[in-house]
Chain A
Amino acid sequence: MFSYIIKRLVVAIPTLLVLMVLSFLLMHAAPGGPFTYEKKLPPEVLANLNAKYGLDQPLWRQMVSYVWGIIAHFDFGPSFVYKDRDVNEIIAQGFPVTLHYGSIAFVVAVVSGVLLGVIAAIRQNTWIDYIAVGISIGAQVLPNFVMAPILVLVFALWLGWLPAGGWEGGELSHVILPVIALATSYMASIARITRSSMLEVLTSNHVRTARAKGLPEHKVILRHALKPSLIPVISYLGPAFVAMITGSVVVDMYFSTGGIGKAFVDSALNRDYAVMMGITLLVGFLTIIFNLLVDILYAWIDPKIRY
């Protein structure tokens, strides 16, 4: 197990490095420097600015110092637009909010998706199954940017039960709509995956044996069928988690929750490349780390995987 984790880490580290180098080169390939204003700066001022931010050095030195800054101090450098703020501050402000509703949405999507899938599978071809399948098919075409306006329309404008936006330090009523908007389509996918793998497991030999020795049905499901049928679900957790972070862009825009997505869209509109890169890299790190965790979980739950 330990050597497997080490092996996975050895793969993850070059991925991170490639990501950093790529994003640095991309930032440099962009037309216009950070100090290209409509009004031209005097050359001395420009030279001083370039010296302060280290832009007068050769490209490879800049790259090494950018990458090293991230590795050694987790420092993404200064913002190009807000002169008194650096990227770390901007991320530190928005990230806890995103993590707050993102992780709730993740848990909601996984738990309700698995529940829906299991119920549909053990009641296959009954009306319960049809309703569950109907829900999951319907929810599949309801991505976050479709759910968000519908939810606001119904629950905020028509019924007036919940606020249409704002964060208020994560008060429950402000969290509900963002969570539903993020979770719906992923709940649907997880339910579909769970249902089909559960159906496969329920016809397998070890479940038949468990039934034959007289175990009550709920024990067969919980103790013998659930674990193997979750294996395909686990491989879906990585993308689902990333989607929660990506969906933050829509949620922050639509519900004004002020998470990391807002920072990203703001920096996109301001052409603040440093902030955009920082957030892209952060999400990349999280993706890689989460995939690593999922792989480890996978190896632990599925004895067929050799490591």
Chain B
Amino acid sequence: MVLSAIDMGALAERLAMDEVKGRSPWTDARIRFMRNKAAVAGMFLLIIVSAFAFFGEMFAVSTYDYIDFSRSGDVLHLGRPSLASGNYFGLDDQGRDLFARTAQGTRISIIVGLVGASISVIVGTLYGAVSGYVGGRTDQIMMRIVDILLAIPFMFVIILLLVMFGRSLSMLFLGIGLLSWLSMARIVRGQTLTLKNREFIQAAQAAGVRGFTIILRHIVPNLLGIVAVYATLLVPEMILTESFISFLGLGVQAPLTSLGDLISQGAKNMRYGTIWQLLFPLAFFMVTMFAFFFVGDGLRDALDPKDR
């Protein structure tokens, strides 16, 4: 009797807790995301790859730019991947440790992807929200500018910038930043158009809140879902762009490297039998891309109300 009274008390308490703990749309989204096996696997892979990219060099026998002259003459036989020598991924054609170089290259690629996506989030969201919220002629002009910029063959322009103003990481960021925000601005504008006639915006307007404050405080927070989705899908696209440019030998400066540069070096040297020089960077490139795609798709399924 006493026991069951305690039980009942506990049950009532639990019920009350359940009632108080309301589920926000973000909680819902997280639950949906966690149910998506591919997305969770992608997230897991992403953590592993990032850990490798940022901490992998600590476990390498030498730094990414140290040239082992004693073996650089005969990499095919002396530079094979082996656990004994500590060159887990082997040596590259110049006698540098490929493990350290792959870690460093993956890091650059991920950073480029994240920076490109951040620029697109900040610039694209503000531009699109302002354009959509203000509307009218301003909107027309702003969107026409985006249309014009989208028609420019950007891959060529980035290469042009890199050649004209010197190859550097900041120039690469600038070039990729110039390109990345355009489609984001379009998407955000479309969302803003559907938001701006809702009651809570009208309430803010009626209360005399300034336009820019409305955009920052009421419109942008409601765009976060779709922005997060497209930003995640933009990261692999940016990595692809950077790798493309680096593959052509126009990206980061040696001895720094990136995944595209490593793939290019590996592809040049595979005729001589040093196939590991292609396969390890290639594997990391593909795994990184896969992981980002899966996470992006998972986020879209979790956050996009259309597919619910």
Given contacts A253-B248, A268-B250, contact A157 B157 (CB under 8 A): no
Q: Does A280 contact B (CB under 8 A)?
A: yes
Q: Which of B146-182 contact A (CB under 8 A)?
A: 147-148, 151-153, 155-157, 159-161, 163-165
A268 (CB) vs chain B CBs: closest residue: B163
Chain A residue, CB-CB nearest to B285? A146
In this complex, which of A26, A140, A271, A280 has the most chain B Cβ atoms within 10 angstroms of its Cβ?
A: A280
The yes or no answer to A87 lying at the interface (CB within 8 A) is no
| Structural contact, A26 and B164, CB atoms closer than 8 A | yes
Q: Which residues of A contact B153 (CB under 8 A)?
A: 242, 245-246, 280, 283-284, 287
Taking CB atoms, residues of chain A closer than 8 Å to B155 are 246, 249
Closest-CB distance, B261 to chain A (whole angstroms): 11
Contact A288-B160, Cβ < 8 Å, known A30-B165, A146-B286: no
Instruction: Specify which chain A residues have a CB less than 8 angstroms from the CB of B156 in the assembled complex.
Output: 246, 264, 276, 279-280, 283
Asked if A72 is at the interface of the complex by the 8 Å CB criterion, the answer is: no
Q: Which of A266-298 contact B (CB under 8 A)?
A: 268-269, 271, 273, 276-277, 279-280, 283-284, 287-288, 291
Categorize the interface residue count of chain B. 35 or more
Contacts of B201 in A (CB 8 A): none
Q: A18-B148, A276-B163 are in contact. Are A157 and B271 (CB under 8 A)?
A: yes
> Which candidate, B60-68, B120-128, B214-222, B262-270, is the interface stretch facing chain A?
B262-270
A11 in contact with B147 (CB, 8 Å): yes
Q: Which residues of B contact A152 (CB under 8 A)?
A: 267, 270
A154 to B293, CA, bound (A): 26
A265 at interface, CB cutoff 8 A: yes
Check B286 against A141 for contact (C-beta < 8 Å): yes
With both beta carbons as reference points, the residue of chain A lying nearest to B267 in the complex is identified as: A149
Q: Do the beta carbons of A287 and B248 come within 8 Å of each other? A: no
Give, as a whole number of angstroms, the nearest-CB distance from B160 to chain A.
5
Asked whether B110 is an interface residue with its Cβ less than 8 Å from the other chain, the reply is no
Bitwise, A204-244 to B at CB < 8 A (1) or not (0) is 00000000000000000000000000000000000000100
B280 CB within 8 Å of chain A = no
Q: Quick check: is A77 within 8 A (CB to CB) of the other chain?
A: no
Contact B163 A287 (CB under 8 A): no
Complex interface: stretch among B8-16, B28-36, B91-99, B239-247:
B239-247
Within 8 Å CB of A201, what residues of B?
none
Asked whether A29 lies within 8 Å of B164 as measured between CB atoms, the reply is yes
- Which A-chain residue is minimally distant from B159 (CB atoms)? A268
Scan residues 132-178 of chain A and give those whose CB is less than 8 A from a CB of chain B: 137, 140-143, 145-146, 148-150, 152-153, 157
Cα A142 to Cα B153 in complex, Å, equals 21
Contact call A30/B164, Cβ cutoff below 8 A? yes
Asked if A31 contacts B248 (CB within 8 A), the reply is no
Partner of B160, one of A146, A280, A287: A280
**Chain A residues, Cβ within 8 Å of B275:** 153
Which of B221-274 touch A at CB < 8 Å? 240, 243-244, 247-248, 250, 260, 263-264, 266-267, 270-271
User: What residues of B have a CB within 8 angstroms of the CB of A150 in the complex?
Assistant: 282
Residues A149 and B160 in contact, CB atoms below 8 Å apart: no
Quick one: which of A143, A157, A271 contacts B244, CB cutoff 8 A? A143
Alpha-carbon distance A177/B190, docked complex (angstroms): 41
Question: Does residue B187 face the partner (Cβ distance < 8 Å to A)?
Answer: no
Is A149 within 8 A of B278, CB to CB? Answer: yes
Q: Does B289 contact A (CB under 8 A)?
A: yes
* A148 B267 Cβ-Cβ under 8 A: yes
Question: Cβ of B290 < 8 Å from any Cβ of A?
Answer: yes
Q: Which residue in chain B gives the minimum CB-CB distance to A247?
A: B244
Residues of A within 8 A of B264 (CB): 145
Please give, as numbers and ranges, the residues of chain A lying within 8 Å of B290 by CB-CB distance.
141
- Taking CB as reference atom, which chain B residue is nearest A271? B163
Complexed CA–CA distance, A22 and B264 (Å) = 31
Closest 3 CB pairs of A and B: A149-B267, A30-B164, A141-B289
Chain B contacts to A: CB under 8 angstroms: 144, 147-148, 151-153, 155-157, 159-161, 163-165, 240, 243-244, 247-248, 250, 260, 263-264, 266-267, 270-271, 275, 278, 282, 285-286, 289-290, 293
A residues within 8 Å of B by Cβ? 11, 14-15, 18-19, 22, 26, 29-31, 137, 140-143, 145-146, 148-150, 152-153, 157, 242, 245-246, 249-250, 253-254, 264-265, 268-269, 271, 273, 276-277, 279-280, 283-284, 287-288, 291
Known: A19-B148, A143-B243, A283-B153. 17 other contacts (CB 8 A): A11-B147, A15-B148, A18-B148, A141-B285, A141-B289, A142-B286, A145-B243, A145-B263, A145-B264, A153-B275, A157-B270, A246-B153, A249-B248, A269-B163, A276-B159, A283-B156, A287-B152
**What are 8 pairs between A and B in contact, CB < 8 Å?**
A141-B290, A145-B244, A146-B263, A246-B156, A253-B248, A268-B160, A273-B160, A276-B163
